[in-house]
């Protein structure tokens, strides 16, 4: 297609083609764009021919003399007969021109060779005319649609998604984050539609020759990178927000979903206002539009002034959405609005520092949500879940540093991962906690002010923070942030600290090494040194609130860990715990005596004297150490046995995370029966305490316990605890007997997911059809997902196969952006796993084409495969499959490496731990149930 278009265009005007030797992945640096005037005419009337045409005028400044202009452009038909180039400044008045063009498809370059040399210091104006189809691939300038239920007709809209490198699909441009420039955007469209862009509309006038068409010109934007440009033509409705003293704030959705916009319309401006206070910098644009796009590949996108969302990330229905849905959408909105400062105002120089965008937005979003909904206590929960994620992902040898070299677009995509987001956020939290509130805030403010409307790299951040920290006395003068933080952002992985106490001298020696899941890797290869802030407390002190470091583990110039000894520890009968509230991303192992003391406290009435986050830490750490062989499973299970008395979410989160993994490996083995009994024993007390799955709200004292109830119900029903399944079936039966089940649903909202799942697992074909009909009729995106997930709980092979085939069928009612989720639902089912694995391996070519060019999205199909492969035969089979399917796994290198490594570590676990684990379970089952 691309070649075809370019060929046509070339033929049309006969500009000479030349070839250039320039084959670097970055644009040459001789030119800088100063301003863009972009006009786009969008044609949405004919569903068979959805397209746009445009013109762009770019003012370019030459920094060095050059004979060509190299831009990005992909899949655009550029009318070469209409290219014009003229000099804007200087004495030479004669117009310049373009005498030949070239393309470099590897780097999406469009190269214009100029008639005369462009001279350093002068400005030029380049005009290009181009056109393309509104594509279906969810990036660039693309189409989306929804069904208008009244007319029973499909309605089409257009929308952009440019990050990281798809502005070049929509208009020729300097598509790198370092080239910031102001944009004047003008949209042409049929007057029945609305046109939206980053800035407010300035004026509207009729189209020159298309009757019924209008042009809307938008105000000039502030300098911004191409990836933040956005526009849309649609027939949506909007809900205005009412918070005074802020920018105009509107929330847009398809007309039939406008009643789901209330919550986001209320929450958005509040969090924006909070950030203005937090950073001490006003939001600089006159308006924000947030829009729910029916087809949207990412979760949301922070375009300056026009933030785009998936429906599940913006729409909320009181009658249907769960607390989890509400928290998710608050978090997404808070994340995208945080980007308005971190990313939009100050942008990373190059994708290497993507974490300056994503890590910040993730961390700042937790602050925002915590501020507005403190009753959710989401800061703790978010911090813990970020850490749980990175403890897993960053324990792989195939992980990578937060800051990493980027040379290809596929690598940019791969960087939108847990390392940039969750690890980025965790190291920022660590810094916040060791610097203290004032220094952290003032350092950030200086950084934002200094680099506003410009670009920055991580060293710029370190410098601002060090200066402010030294000024405020928050950091010893001989420490600087760069030395400390480089050890976290330039090295892969995180350390495990081993604390060995000397009980006679009341001291402890600390050592560190990288924590790795793959136990075949020898100690010598686990090097690395991290600057580790050491907060700790003792059984006498129990001061978990102090997260300020009492000492540091330091590194020598040559990167070796310096010996660290801690003094004044308690007597041999009292424990010590390091890393108060998990303030930094590291694990801690202790000597046997200290573990013994900890286990005693956990299994006593006093367990709550250990901070809830540290209880979660102990559970997580000990289960990892047992997995990798530094600890016995008997000890580990004695630690988690205390959960029978635990009534808070966080420690359960840690435990369930591990039990899920262990369960998936042990599920197809004869010893699964003992595992099941263990789970039942563990969760029966809390299940009863929370009043089972009976109506959610009356038995819940604190809002955040609702999440715990949802989680416990999920485990209870899948492990047949108490009356869970019977209750679930009763609820479902009641629902099925409703005259109008789409209007009236007696199942309590926050247990719908486990209830539907149990009903489908134990129910009939008729139950499946009933639920599937609800899926088709639902108007709420998050409800559709809940139902789709539950439909995959069936144990009928044919129904699972039916779900599986729906996933990749363009005619089925599953949107492409939900396909990976739908696939995962089937593949995590014990029966579905084998079907899904076979389907994936048999159809990898078709699946690749289905996702192309979104290979990153395709990699979302992998987790259920790698989490459930645990024997060597399957592992080798998958390895062979990878070797013979290179073409269909392109752009997924990182995900494939991680997949193989995780499969290998599962195999190692099974070979080494299976017997000791089941032996330990049998032992722990003998311990009497706690009263
Ligand atoms: N900037 C990203 C959107 C994005 C993701 C663009 C991947 C290109 C590739 C946006 O700010 C984001 O991070 N969205 C998240 C949701 C967020 C709440 C974690 C997403 O899309 O998952
Ligand atoms: Zn983001």
Q: Per-residue pLDDT tens for 63-81? A: 999 999 999 999 999 999 9
| CB 121, CB 60: distance < 8 Å | no
Q: In what order do the strands lie in the sheet with 194-197?
A: 140-148, 153-161, 231-234, 194-197
Q: How far apart are CA 701 and CA 704, in angstroms?
A: 9
Q: Taking residues 287-315, what's their average pLDDT?
A: 98
**509, β-bridge pairs:** 500, 565
Cα 676 → chain centroid: 32
Residue nearest to atom 15 of ligand 1 (CA): 299
Q: How far apart are CA 540 and CA 136, in angstroms?
A: 63
For ligand 2, a single-atom ion, the residues with CB < 5 A are 358, 361
| CB 40, CB 157: distance < 8 Å | no
- The pLDDT, as a whole number, for residue 12 is 33
By CB neighbour count within 10 A (0-12 exposed, 13-18 middle, 19+ buried), where does 282 fall? exposed
Residue 473: pLDDT band (50, 70, 90) is very high
User: Average model confidence (pLDDT) for the chain?
Assistant: 95
Atom of ligand 1 at shortest distance to CA of 335? Answer: 18
Nearest ligand to the C-alpha atom of residue 166: 1
Distance 445 CA to ligand 2 centre (A): 20
Nearest to 107 by CA among 163, 36, 42, 24: 24
- The pLDDT, as a whole number, for residue 14 is 47
**32, β-bridge pairs:** 61
Q: CA-CA distances (angstroms) from residue 64 to 107, 118, 123, 204, 833?
A: 22, 8, 11, 39, 59
Helices (H), 166-226: none
Helices (H), 183-297: 262-279
Ligand 1 pocket by C-beta < 6 Å: which residues?
163-164, 298-302, 331-332, 335-336, 339, 358, 361, 416
Question: pTM of this prediction?
Answer: 0.97
Half-sphere exposure in the Cβ direction for 197 (13 Å, CA): 24
Q: Is the pLDDT of residue 5 over 50?
A: no
Distance 578 CA to ligand 1 centre (A): 34
Q: How far apart are CA 652 and CA 655, in angstroms?
A: 5
Where is pLDDT greater, at 527 or 712? 712
Beta-strand runs (E) in 88-133: 98-104, 109-118, 123-133
pLDDT above 90: percentage of residues in the chain: 93
CB-based burial, 1-35: b 16+ in 10 Å, e otherwise: eeeebbeebbeeeebeeeeeeeeeeebeebbbbbb
Q: Helix, strand, coil proportions of the chain in percent (round to 5)?
A: 45, 20, 35
- The pLDDT, as a whole number, for residue 22 is 82
Distance 52 CA to ligand 1 centre (A): 26
Q: What is the DSSP string of 54-89?
A: EEEEEEEEESS-EEEEEEE--S-EE-GGG-EEEE-S
By CB neighbour count within 10 A (0-12 exposed, 13-18 middle, 19+ buried), where does 827 fall? buried
Q: Is the pLDDT of residue 6 over 60?
A: no
Residue nearest to atom 1 of ligand 1 (CA): 301
pLDDT above 70: percentage of residues in the chain: 97
Residue nearest to atom 5 of ligand 1 (CA): 298
Residue 676: pLDDT band (50, 70, 90) is very high
| CB 381, CB 613: distance < 8 Å | no
Strands 587-590 vs 495-502: parallel, antiparallel or unpaired: parallel
Q: Is the pLDDT of residue 239 over 90?
A: yes
| CB 130, CB 171: distance < 8 Å | yes
The 10 Å Cβ neighbour count of residue 565 is: 11
For 878, residues 6+ apart whose C-beta sits below 8 A from its C-beta are 841, 865, 869, 899, 900, 903
Residue 3: pLDDT band (50, 70, 90) is very low
Atom of ligand 1 at shortest distance to CA of 361? Answer: 11
**Hey, is 144 helix, strand or coil?**
strand
Q: Is the pLDDT of residue 110 over 60?
A: yes
Determine the longest span between alpha carbons in the chain, in angstroms. Answer: 94
Nearest to 850 by CA among 817, 899, 883: 817
| Residue of 416, 421, 860 to test ligand 1 pocket, by largest number of atoms within 8 Å of CB | 416
Half-sphere exposure in the Cβ direction for 274 (13 Å, CA): 20
- The pLDDT, as a whole number, for residue 93 is 58
The 10 Å Cβ neighbour count of residue 316 is: 25
Q: How far apart are CA 370 and CA 377, in angstroms?
A: 6
Residue 408: pLDDT band (50, 70, 90) is confident
| CB 751, CB 710: distance < 8 Å | yes
By CB neighbour count within 10 A (0-12 exposed, 13-18 middle, 19+ buried), where does 153 fall? exposed
| Residue of 140, 225, 299, 302 to test ligand 1 pocket, by largest number of atoms within 8 Å of CB | 299
Residue 16: pLDDT band (50, 70, 90) is low
Please identify every residue annotated as catalytic.
336
Distance 88 CA to ligand 2 centre (A): 38
Q: Taking residues 591-606, what's their average pLDDT?
A: 97
Q: CA-CA distances (angstroms) from residue 359 to 348, 349, 356, 533, 573?
A: 12, 15, 6, 20, 41
Distance 794 CA to ligand 2 centre (A): 35
* Structure tokens belonging to residue 48: 């068979």
Residue 89: pLDDT band (50, 70, 90) is confident
* Structure tokens belonging to residue 775: 């899926």
Q: CA-CA distances (angstroms) from residue 701 to 369, 696, 708, 898?
A: 21, 10, 12, 42
Question: Which helix (H) or strand (E) covers residue 673, if one does?
Answer: helix 672-689
Q: Is the pLDDT of residue 46 over 90?
A: yes
Q: How far apart are CA 275 and CA 267, in angstroms?
A: 13
The 10 Å Cβ neighbour count of residue 660 is: 12
Q: Express each pLDDT in 28-43 by its tens digit.
A: 999 999 999 999 999 9
Residue nearest to atom 13 of ligand 1 (CA): 358
Cα 895 → chain centroid: 15
Nearest ligand to the C-alpha atom of residue 298: 1
Residue nearest to atom 22 of ligand 1 (CA): 299
Nearest to 447 by CA among 431, 467, 472: 467
- The pLDDT, as a whole number, for residue 18 is 58
Q: Taking residues 231-242, what's their average pLDDT?
A: 98
| Residue of 298, 326, 366 to test ligand 1 pocket, by largest number of atoms within 8 Å of CB | 298
**78, β-bridge pairs:** 130
Residue nearest to atom 17 of ligand 1 (CA): 332
| CB 397, CB 901: distance < 8 Å | yes
Distance 785 CA to ligand 1 centre (A): 19
Q: Is the pLDDT of residue 880 over 90?
A: yes
Q: How far apart are CA 676 and CA 548, in angstroms?
A: 42
Lowest mean pLDDT among 404-408, 421-425, 614-618, 915-919: 404-408
């Amino acid at each position: 297609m691309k070649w075809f278009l370019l060929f046509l265009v070339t033929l049309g005007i006969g500009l000479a083609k030349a070839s250039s030797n320039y084959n670097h992945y970055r644009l040459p640096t001789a030119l800088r764009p100063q301003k863009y005037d972009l006009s786009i005419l969008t044609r949405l009337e004919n569903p068979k021919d959805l397209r746009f045409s445009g013109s762009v005028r770019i003012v370019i400044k030459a920094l060095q003399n050059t004979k060509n202009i190299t831009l990005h452009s992909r899949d655009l038909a550029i009318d070469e007969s209409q290219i014009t180039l003229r000099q804007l400044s200087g004495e030479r008045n004669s117009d310049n021109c373009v005498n030949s063009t070239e393309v470099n498809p590897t780097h999406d370059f469009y190269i214009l060779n100029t008639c005369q040399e462009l001279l350093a210091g002068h400005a030029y104006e380049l005009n290009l005319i181009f056109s393309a189809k509104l594509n279906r691939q969810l990036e660039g300038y693309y189409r989306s649609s929804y069904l208008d239920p009244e007319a029973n007709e499909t309605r089409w809209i257009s929308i952009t998604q440019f990050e990281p490198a798809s502005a070049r699909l929509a208009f020729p441009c300097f598509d790198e984050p370092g080239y910031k420039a102001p944009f004047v955007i003008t949209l042409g469209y049929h007057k029945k539609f609305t046109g939206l862009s980053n800035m407010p509309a300035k004026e509207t006038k009729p189209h020159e020759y298309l009757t019924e068409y209008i042009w809307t010109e938008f105000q000039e934007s502030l300098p911004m990178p191409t990836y933040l440009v956005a526009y849309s033509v649609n027939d949506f409705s909007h809900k205005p927000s009412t918070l005074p003293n802020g920018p105009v704030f509107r929330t847009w959705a398809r007309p039939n979903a406008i009643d789901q916009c209330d919550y986001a319309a209320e929450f958005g401006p509040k969090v924006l206002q909070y950030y203005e206070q937090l950073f001490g910098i006003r939001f600089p644009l006159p308006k924000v539009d947030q829009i729910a796009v029916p087809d949207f590949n990412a979760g949301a996108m922070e375009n300056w002034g026009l933030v785009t969302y998936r429906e599940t990330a913006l729409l909320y229905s009181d009658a249907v959405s769960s607390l989890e849905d509400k928290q998710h959408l608050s978090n997404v909105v808070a994340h995208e609005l945080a980007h308005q400062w971190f990313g939009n105002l100050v942008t990373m120089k190059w994708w290497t520092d993507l974490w300056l965008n994503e890590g910040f937005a993730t961390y700042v979003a937790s602050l925002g949500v915590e501020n507005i909904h403190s009753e959710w206590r989401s800061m703790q929960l978010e911090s813990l879940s970020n850490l749980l994620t990175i403890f897993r992902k960053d324990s792989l040898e195939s992980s990578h540093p937060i800051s990493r070299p980027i040379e290809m677009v596929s690598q940019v995509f791969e960087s939108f991962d847990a390392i940039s987001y969750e690890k980025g956020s965790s190291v920022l939290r660590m810094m916040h906690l060791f610097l203290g509130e004032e220094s952290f805030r003032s350092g950030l403010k200086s950084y934002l002010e200094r680099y506003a409307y410009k670009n920055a790299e991580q060293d710029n951040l370190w410098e601002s923070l060090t200066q402010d920290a030294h000024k405020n006395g928050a950091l010893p003068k001989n420490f600087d942030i760069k030395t400390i933080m480089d050890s976290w952002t330039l090295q892969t992985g995180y350390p495990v600290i081993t604390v060995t106490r000397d009980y006679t001298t009341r001291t402890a020696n600390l050592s560190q090494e990288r924590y790795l899941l793959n136990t075949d890797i020898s100690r010598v290869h686990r090097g690395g040194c991290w600057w580790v802030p050491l907060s700790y407390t003792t059984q006498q002190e129990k001061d978990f609130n102090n997260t300020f470091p009492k000492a540091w583990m330091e590194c020598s110039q040559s990167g070796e860990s310096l010996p660290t000894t801690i003094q004044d520890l308690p007597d041999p009968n009292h424990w010590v715990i390091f890393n108060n509230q998990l303030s930094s991303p590291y694990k801690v192992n202790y000597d046997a005596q200290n573990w013994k003391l900890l286990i005693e406290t956990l299994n006593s009435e006093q367990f709550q004297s250990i901070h809830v986050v540290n209880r979660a830490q102990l559970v997580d750490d000990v289960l990892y150490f047992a997995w990798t062989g530094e600890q016995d499973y008997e000890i580990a299970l004695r630690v988690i046995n205390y959960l029978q008395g635990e009534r808070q979410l966080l420690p359960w989160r840690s435990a369930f995370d591990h039990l899920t993994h262990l369960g998936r490996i042990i599920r197809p083995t004869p010893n699964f029966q003992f595992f099941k009994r263990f789970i039942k024993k563990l969760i029966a007390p809390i299940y009863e305490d929370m009043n089972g799955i009976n109506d959610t709200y009356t038995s819940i004292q604190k809002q955040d316990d609702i999440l715990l109830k949802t989680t416990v119900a999920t485990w209870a029903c899948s492990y047949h605890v108490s009356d869970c399944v019977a209750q679930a079936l009763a609820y479902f039966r009641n629902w099925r007997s409703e005259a109008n089940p789409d209007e009236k649903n007696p199942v309590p909202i926050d247990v719908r997911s486990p209830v539907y799942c149990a009903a489908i697992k134990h129910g009939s074909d008729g139950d499946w059809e009933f639920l599937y009909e609800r899926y088709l009729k639902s108007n709420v995106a998050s409800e559709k997902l809940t139902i789709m997930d539950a439909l995959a709980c069936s144990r009928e092979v044919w129904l699972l196969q039916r779900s599986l085939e729906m996933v990749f069928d363009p005619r089925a009612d599953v949107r492409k952006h939900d396909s990976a989720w739908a696939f995962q639902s089937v593949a995590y089912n014990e029966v579905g796993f084998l079907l899904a694995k076979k389907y994936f391996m048999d159809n990898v070519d078709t699946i690749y084409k289905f996702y192309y060019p979104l290979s990153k999205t395709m990699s979302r199909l992998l987790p259920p495969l790698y989490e459930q492969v645990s024997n060597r035969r399957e592992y080798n089979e998958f390895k062979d499959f990878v070797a013979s399917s290179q073409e269909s796994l392109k752009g997924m290198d990182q995900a494939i490496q991680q997949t193989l490594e995780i499969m290998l570590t599962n195999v190692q676990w099974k070979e080494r731990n299976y017997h000791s684990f089941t032996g330990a379970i049998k032992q722990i089952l003998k311990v009497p149930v706690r009263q």
